[in-house]
Structure 1
Amino acid sequence: MNNADLIIATLKANGVSRGFGIPSGNVLPLMEAMRSGGVEFILTAHEGSAGFAADVTGRMTGTPGFCIATLGPGATNLATGVGGAFLDRSPVIAITCNLNTDQLGRRIQMWIDHHALFKPITKATLKLEQGCVAQTLTQAIALALSEPKGPVHLDLPEDVALAATNERVAAPAQPAKLAAAADAALARAGELIATAERPIAVLGATAMRLADPSSLRTMIERHNLPFATTTMAKGMIDEDHPLALGCIERACRQVQRRFLHSADLIVGLGYDTVEVEYEAWIGNRPLLQIDIEPVDVAPSVNLIHQVTGDFDSSLARLCAMPAATNRWSSAMLAEHRRTFQTALRPAGKMFTAYAAIDAVRRALPREGLLAFDVGAHTHQIASQWSAHAPKTFHITNGWSSMGFGLPGAIAAKLARPEAPVVCLLGDGCFQMTCGEVATAKRLGITLPIVVLDDRWLALIKVKQIRRQLPLYGTELQAETYREPPAHYFGVPALAANSADALESSVTSALAANGPTVIEAVVDSDHYLDTVYD
């Protein structure tokens, strides 16, 4: 056995079943170990996509996602996806396959300092050295899985990968456990919730990583807390719940802000300010924060109390407290939901972006998964889409990089092959990652890829208009739109230029034996009113 074999055996012992990447000569020892060791290598079109796919794998499965790249430009490409896992806190093991040890640090083709590159965007960056490979890798896995979760980078020189080893596969990694919050801190939180007349909870990204997601709903229902969510926390409680208020700080954010400002207590449940800082929306409302680490707020935020410790433990103890009552009525909450959803869909004569999103939602079964990308459509989808279960709504919010949607959808389908999955992205994002259509084809996965084509980088166009700047450098296509090509890389491409046609096309694509690209030409002018209301 060589060290490459040991690495793969160790990853497999920790639940890793696949890795994403692009090969080079330096990567071949690790790829061969994957082939012989039973860990699938998935060829992507770009290393950034490999990182995003590993991110979604980690957040969905609870085991580390795995991505691989060569040195130099392979590593810099991979860094985009790894950075997403860092700010969105997904467990990932990222391995760069480097030159031989005696060549490191020299001015040799493609070499850069990988540790300097990955240090700001990982929990740690470690060297894999002869004699301590299993120990270092197990340490990396434990660190990736310890809260706050995140990526760990490992650098593997080719001579180390090929060297024979007598090391044995270590026992599976044991992530560190967070201490429970102090009893007094939780008791005070319970008092604040019990005495508030109009409390509102806001669920955040930490909730995605709960060991027992059902405790979140139990706590909300016990204390009759109306709840809003951040983008990342959508679906942690079914958004059809009568206490649900919708997503904050995306489309029609002012509608949400006005309602939040009617509260006399905001309860942050796993709220991570990387999604949107409190000071952007909370005003002078008192804040009770319950999370795994101290909250990051500006001095202007009225933070009256915080509970810091293991989030599952905190929720379980809040669930055990006497039930609280407040002055919210179901009629008030239902009226707000109607107001919010109506504002998201202003009158329009053309095939609007919001109508396309609704059509996709109707076609995808309730239990289906959505992965989407970054742009103006992100805001519209986050506010408009109804998510009904945990880990069915995938986006990068902390990192907010274009290019996430398609590799994220591929990873989601591989993680849950029995579930229907749809990818929804804008035309700008599709231009960046259309090569991953070929990845989906090679894998033979059923995946509708819906492209909202409005010919612009619409989010930046809206910002240009808001700032009274001329439209410059944001138009993707000037000529009159024509029908899509018959296929992309052998994947059929369809046009769907009405809501009914799109719903029908997505429904058919969900029954196909492989991926399908569906191009919907939409009118996105309403983004000016909904995305930045």
Structure 2
Amino acid sequence: MRGADYLVKTLKDHKVETVFGYPGGAIMPVYDALYESGLRHILCRHEQGAVFAADGYARSSGQLGVCIATSGPGATNLITGIANAQLDSVPLLAITGQVASNLIGTDAFQEIDTYGLSLSVVKHSYLVTNIEDLPRMLNEAISLAQSGRPGPVLIDIAKDVQMAEMPAATLAYCEKSSPHQDDHQVLVQPSEVISKAASLLASSAKPLVYAGGGVGIAQASALLKKLVDTFKLPTVTTLKGIGALASSHLYNLGMLGMHGTKSANLAVQECDLLLVLGARLDDRATGDLKQFAPHAKVIHIDCDQTEVSKLRLADVSLVGDMKEILSAIIETTSGNFIHQIAHQWRHYCLTNKEQLGFRYDAPFSTIYAPLLLQKLSHRFQQQPAIVACDVGQHQMWVAQHMQFDSCQHHLSSGGLGAMGYGLPAALGAKLANPELTVINVSGDGSIMMNIQELATLKRYNIPVKILLLDNQRLGMVRQWQQLFFEKRYSETDLSDNPDFTELAHAFGIQSKSIHLATQVDDALDDFLSSDKSYLLHVAIDPDENVWPLVPPGKSNADFIDDQSANCNPSSTQSSKGFR
């Protein structure tokens, strides 16, 4: 058995069914092994498309995402997608070919130090130059990517190792030990620490849950709902935490942070206890960290010790399996703290949610993107859909105006903010979830970064819906230039975009363009009823902004909206706090 054959066999042993990639010289033996392997290989049209597709496959299914590329430019084209998976804790295996081991270090054709290049953006990285090391390294890589806090692992395999025959003794050992079992140990929480957390929660007058992406990764959404329902706890989520508690839940105040809801940000600033679940207190969520939740004690629950007290000192830290920790807290906490003061707190939060919520009564004939997305979201109340976003204003509008009941249904590049993510992530998600409608919401800037993947949709007949919001601008950058750079619009004009409907047709994709509010309902019907890929091009106002916005360096309570910005871009608007 060649090393390449062993690689393919091991992937199948670990229940991998689909891989994404692009062939080249240094990975050619692996592609030869794939030829009649039974593994489904999806040929993306750029290595970045392949790694983003593997990411979308992993996020939407909870399974390992696998991508393959050759050495040199193939490997370097993967790096952005690997970094994206690292920052958002996505289980990903990146397999790259390397020049023959005797050529490493000689500046050979398409040689690059992939191992060194990858170290800052992976959970772990391997360079295989000896056939006898391949089984251990490969099985470890697959296990590491999925255990503990998930993340990307890269394995760079020299071409001669791929072609070498596995020694009989090594192969016999592999048969006994493969597949490698996850030996991740769950930390058992001391009862006194659980009791302290329960006591803090029970004595709190204004408790608030702060749910991040770690809730979905831990598959702890059901327990989060039980916690919220049992103690009637107002809850806010991060961008990656959207769906951890259903958006429609009474006590879900929405996303916090720079473009969070007013009710969520005001609740954070007023609470006296912050129960942080699987979140890392990212700067886009906290605003000015010194002013973040100034009255609150913090209980921080996470599987990764390095995230606890990294930015905000936790009064109680609980590191380990979130489901076990939440179960213990629910069992230990007394329900007696649901008293009059807590009732007033809930009333304050829910009143803000109602009175400071988004309005959709746009009085103009052009298309208002938030209303369009709300209408689209309402069509999935009975049958949920997966939405994969690109990055920009449309990403924030999706987070604000669409409803999700699972983190696996909202795919967004959170930590890295990588434009070009949405289209390949959507095709990966559709292959992992063929029974669900999958929509890529993109902007005219983002779509151009990986638009070549329309060819992948066509080749494999992957019915992804693409909702393209076109304001002929790099909208988020233009908004900041308007508000904070004296309207000096430097390099954000995209008015020379191609005709996107014609571009879609060139790739064999159905398409339609609309620009009036009266066209929206019929266009959405056509968009969703098609059983093939479909691009709906939506022209929107170039000057439309995302509101509210917390300016850089400000407290989350000091948000600005369209009215205050129009009066004075530097002014802020906040509501009176709960007393």
TMscore range, shorter length: over 0.9
Deviation at 1:270, TM superposition (A): 1.3
Structure 1 residues 74 and 344: alpha-carbon distance in aligned structure 2, compared to 1, 3 A threshold: farther
Structure 2 counterpart of 1:318: 329
Structure 2 counterpart of 1:517: 535
Deviation at 1:442, TM superposition (A): 1.4
Matches within 5 A, 1:92-491: 92-128=92-128, 129-165=130-166, 166=168, 167=171, 168-169=174-175, 170-175=177-182, 176-274=184-282, 276=284, 278=286, 279-280=288-289, 282-286=292-296, 287-294=298-305, 295=307, 301=312, 303-321=314-332, 322-323=334-335, 324-326=337-339, 327-328=342-343, 332-342=348-358, 350-365=366-381, 366-469=383-486, 470-477=488-495, 484-485=502-503, 487-491=505-509
- In 1: Cα distance, 2:360 partner to 2:263 partner: 10
Higher mean displacement: 85-94 or 276-285? 276-285
8 Å CA contact 2:442–2:469 kept in 1: the answer is: yes
Structure 2 alignment gaps of length 5 or more: 551-559, 561-579
8 Å CA contact 1:230–1:275 kept in 2: the answer is: no
8 Å CA contact 2:206–2:271 kept in 1: the answer is: yes
Please give the TM-score of this superposition, normalised by the length of structure 1: 0.93
8 Å CA contact 2:366–2:515 kept in 1: the answer is: no
Deviation at 1:202, TM superposition (A): 0.9
Instruction: Determine which of 493, 507, 513 is the counterpart of 2:511.
Output: 493
1:178-200 per-position Cα deviation (integer Å, ceiling 9, x unaligned): 31222221111101111111111
Higher mean displacement: 387-396 or 191-200? 387-396
Higher mean displacement: 251-260 or 183-192? 251-260
Structure 1 residues 320 and 347: alpha-carbon distance in aligned structure 2, compared to 1, 3 A threshold: farther
Higher mean displacement: 103-112 or 482-491? 482-491
1:345-383 per-position Cα deviation (integer Å, ceiling 9, x unaligned): 776553122123223323445411111111122222212
Structure 1 residues 524 and 266: alpha-carbon distance in aligned structure 2, compared to 1, 3 A threshold: farther
Structure 1 alignment gaps of length 5 or more: none
- In 1: Cα distance, 2:21 partner to 2:55 partner: 13
- In 1: Cα distance, 2:373 partner to 2:11 partner: 39
Deviation at 1:275, TM superposition (A): 6.9
Deviation at 1:5, TM superposition (A): 1.2
Structure 1 counterpart of 2:571: none
Higher mean displacement: 492-501 or 2-11? 492-501
- Structure 1 letter corresponding to 2:75: A
Deviation at 1:486, TM superposition (A): 6.5
8 Å CA contact 1:363–1:503 kept in 2: the answer is: no
Partner of 2:30, secondary structure, is: helix
Deviation at 1:434, TM superposition (A): 1.1
Deviation at 1:338, TM superposition (A): 2.6
Higher mean displacement: 206-215 or 453-462? 206-215
Deviation at 1:35, TM superposition (A): 2.9
Deviation at 1:482, TM superposition (A): 8.9
Structure 1 counterpart of 2:553: none
- Structure 2 letter corresponding to 1:186: I
Matches within 5 A, 1:35-114: 35-114=35-114
- Structure 1 letter corresponding to 2:367: F
8 Å CA contact 2:45–2:452 kept in 1: the answer is: yes
Deviation at 1:500, TM superposition (A): 5.3
- In 1: Cα distance, 2:144 partner to 2:537 partner: 42
- In 1: Cα distance, 2:328 partner to 2:125 partner: 36
Structure 1 residues 523 and 69: alpha-carbon distance in aligned structure 2, compared to 1, 3 A threshold: same
- In 2: Cα distance, 1:232 partner to 1:446 partner: 25
- In 2: Cα distance, 1:157 partner to 1:504 partner: 55
Structure 2 counterpart of 1:24: 24
Higher mean displacement: 207-216 or 118-127? 207-216
- In 2: Cα distance, 1:368 partner to 1:256 partner: 25
- In 2: Cα distance, 1:147 partner to 1:220 partner: 25
How many residues matched?
Answer: 532
8 Å CA contact 1:275–1:397 kept in 2: the answer is: no
- Structure 1 letter corresponding to 2:412: I
Structure 1 residues 28 and 478: alpha-carbon distance in aligned structure 2, compared to 1, 3 A threshold: closer
Higher mean displacement: 114-123 or 378-387? 378-387
Deviation at 1:477, TM superposition (A): 1.2
8 Å CA contact 1:427–1:455 kept in 2: the answer is: yes
8 Å CA contact 1:271–1:291 kept in 2: the answer is: yes
- In 2: Cα distance, 1:212 partner to 1:277 partner: 21
- Structure 1 letter corresponding to 2:436: A
Structure 1 counterpart of 2:577: none
- In 1: Cα distance, 2:506 partner to 2:221 partner: 39
Alignment RMSD: 2.4
Which segments of structure 1 move beyond 6 Å, counting only runs of 4 or more?
Answer: 479-483
- In 2: Cα distance, 1:82 partner to 1:152 partner: 8
- Structure 1 letter corresponding to 2:179: P
Higher mean displacement: 467-476 or 484-493? 484-493
1:375-415 per-position Cα deviation (integer Å, ceiling 9, x unaligned): 12222221222112341111010121111111111111111
1:59-96 per-position Cα deviation (integer Å, ceiling 9, x unaligned): 33333210011111111110111111111011111011
Structure 1 residues 177 and 92: alpha-carbon distance in aligned structure 2, compared to 1, 3 A threshold: same
Question: How many percent identity over aligned positions?
Answer: 25
Please give the TM-score of this superposition, normalised by the length of structure 2: 0.86
Partner of 2:357, secondary structure, is: helix
- In 1: Cα distance, 2:356 partner to 2:431 partner: 35
